């Protein structure tokens, strides 16, 4: 009996330590995403617009979670399939969150991990102001920015020269999911394709193998 009790105590302690680690400074567990929305898809599509002004207001962690899930969330756990299609299910895209005004989330750059639906802190600080200098000035008003980058080699392994085409098609799928999800959450969003690739990579401190393809500021309507 004593042995069973000690075994239970050890197991509980291990679980507590694991939970504490998962909530450590570097990993932020996200609230579960919802698969139910208030707005019908047709209404969402009719209301999506590129917005370049935002209210000085925080978005919530759960809205951020929903946007990231729309980008690359897992929708078939057993096969690891995601919200957006991907050639050969090779998933060449990486999703980053630049947090500026997000409730209960320290400002900084985070990488989204679809499999665990969490965020890894890449670098803390006011990345948004830094980005606004390399991008268009209006992004400084956004509450957050979603950055989509690509690792072309993941797709090239199977598709060779056709990989670039597939990766560019995929970024369109993912971006539209984010924009429609933002609209459904009654948030404003815009898109930016005009930037210097090398400057964006170094501003975000990304490795050489990753190319930033698209930048999506989000926030509340002014």
- Footprint of ligand FMN (CB under 6 A): 49-50, 52, 136, 190-194
Rg (CA), the chain: 19
Cα–Cα distance measured from residue 132 to residue 189, given in angstroms and rounded to the nearest whole number: 15
Nearer Cβ to ligand FMN, position 95 or 180? 180
Burial of residue 48 (CB within 10 Å: 0-12, 13-18, 19+) is middle
Q: Which residue is nearest to ligand FMN (CB)?
A: 193
- In the bound state with ligand FMN, the residue whose beta carbon lies nearer, of 81 and 191, is 191
Least separation in angstroms between CB 217 and ligand FMN:
9
Min dist CB 69 to ligand FMN, Å, is 22
What secondary structure letter does DSSP report for 52? -
Residue with the two structure tokens 């759960």: 62
Shortest distance, position 215 Cβ to ligand FMN, whole Å: 8
For the chain, strand residue ranges (E) read 27-29, 74-76, 81-82, 93-99, 108-113, 118-124, 144-150, 188-189, 211-219
CB of 206 to ligand FMN, least distance (A): 19
| Closer residue to ligand FMN in complex, CB, 108/190 | 190
Q: Is 4 or 194 the residue whose CB approaches ligand FMN more closely?
A: 194
């Amino acid at each position: 009996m004593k042995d069973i009790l000690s075994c239970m105590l050890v197991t509980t302690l291990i679980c507590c330590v694991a939970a504490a680690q998962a909530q450590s400074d570097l990993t932020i567990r996200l609230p579960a995403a919802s698969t139910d929305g208030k707005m019908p898809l047709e209404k969402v599509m009719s209301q999506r617009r590129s917005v370049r002004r935002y209210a000085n207001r925080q978005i919530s962690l759960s809205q951020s979670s929903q946007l990231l899930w729309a980008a690359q969330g897992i929708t078939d756990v057993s096969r690891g399939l995601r919200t957006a299609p991907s050639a050969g299910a090779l998933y060449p895209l990486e999703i980053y969150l630049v947090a500026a005004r997000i409730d209960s989330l320290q400002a900084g750059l985070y990488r989204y991990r679809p499999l665990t639906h969490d965020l890894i802190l890449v670098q803390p600080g006011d990345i948004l102001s830094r980005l606004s200098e390399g991008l268009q000035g209006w992004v400084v008003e956004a509450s957050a920015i979603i950055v989509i980058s690509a690792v072309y080699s993941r797709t090239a392994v199977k598709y060779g020269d056709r990989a670039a085409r597939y990766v560019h098609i995929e970024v369109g799928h993912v971006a539209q999911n984010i924009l429609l999800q933002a609209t459904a959450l009654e948030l404003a969003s815009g898109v930016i394709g005009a930037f210097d690739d090398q400057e964006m990579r170094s501003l975000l401190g990304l490795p050489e193998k990753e190319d930033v393809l698209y930048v999506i500021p989000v926030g509340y309507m002014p």
